[in-house]
Structure 1
Amino acid sequence: MAQQPQRGHTGRTLSTARLVRGAALLPGLALLVLLTACGGGTETAAVNSDPAKVTAAPAAGVVAPAKVEVIAGLTGCEAEIRIEADELREGVCHTETADYVITTFPAERYKLAWLDAAGVYGGTYLVGERWVVSARPDVLQRFRPKLGGTVRRLRGTDPAPAPGAS
């Protein structure tokens, strides 16, 4: 008795090669699901830790989390929170060597909008994922190994009036 060709959901005959490929992918997908579902609970300690008590610098290459208190602790200060809003949190640090501002954002898009607005004023900033530190360039260079991020210089705008304006 001749076997009927298998048909896919479109009604076309499935080729043997496609059937073999599908069968080969199945164990890999099953393994991926198992590995994903069985990921350990290694994040519990980080979630339960007190960010205000973090004082040790992370290993090189580690990026500071987007919490004012954690970033302040990594830089050696206890920040005074001056803005608590949905779009950002901002803390001020006053130390013997420098005064600086730490701003964190709940989403990257808020940071990008903040940087766009700050571009009007110019200045140099240490920018990380969902955070910005505003300070003198020498202070930012000192913080960079502890926090990660990129030192960015914003140009600012020329306050001169537009040509033809009187």
Structure 2
Amino acid sequence: MRGAAVAGSLALLPLVSACSGGKENVAADSKPSISSAPAAGVVAPAKVEVIAGLTGCKAKIRVEAEELRQGLCHTEKADYLITTFPEEKYKQTWLDEASVYGGKYLVGSRWVVAAKPQMLEQFRTKLGGTIKQLRGMGPTPSGS
């Protein structure tokens, strides 16, 4: 069941990452970059529905498993994924797997939001968390 849940959620990553236009993909040997939330004493709880409400949507649950829950938010501005985890170790495993795809994510305590990069900063002011740039493992786009 765990493999199916992780595979199912990772299958959606290219769709969300594709929205960024590829600018966030970096070479495999690059180090992840991190930007912290301003001193906004806000920390969202690790529950898909609550995080969705704080971002202005009602999430449709796509994955419900022991290791994670994932909801899809559809708004006028963007579609995005909210993934929550019962323990930090599951979040770390998910992030390790997602690093293959690269891209930016908003990461909090036992939750991750995958959205267009310009949306992440808006969400960070509401949810707290840290914006992380994950390295991609595939080829980088050429300048031609």
TM over 0.5: yes
Partner of 2:69: 89
SS at match of 1:124: strand
- The residue type paired with residue 109 of structure 1 is K
SS at match of 1:122: strand
Q: Percent identity?
A: 72
**Offset of 1:159 from its aligned partner?**
4.2
1:155 pairs with one of 135, 139, 142: 135
Q: Which has the larger radius of gyration?
A: 1
1-structure distance, mates of 2:118, 2:139: 26
Aligned length: 102
The unaligned stretches of length 5 or more in structure 1 are 1-58, 161-166
The Cα RMSD (Å) is: 1.5
2-structure distance, mates of 1:113, 1:61: 27
SS at match of 1:61: coil
Partner of 1:65: 45
- The residue type paired with residue 107 of structure 2 is V
Larger RCO of the pair (alpha carbons < 8 Å, separation 6+): 2
Contact 2:72 2:80 in 1 (8 A): yes
Structure 2 length as normaliser, TM-score?
0.68
1:134 pairs with one of 107, 114, 122: 114
Contact 2:91 2:110 in 1 (8 A): yes
Structure 1 length as normaliser, TM-score?
0.59
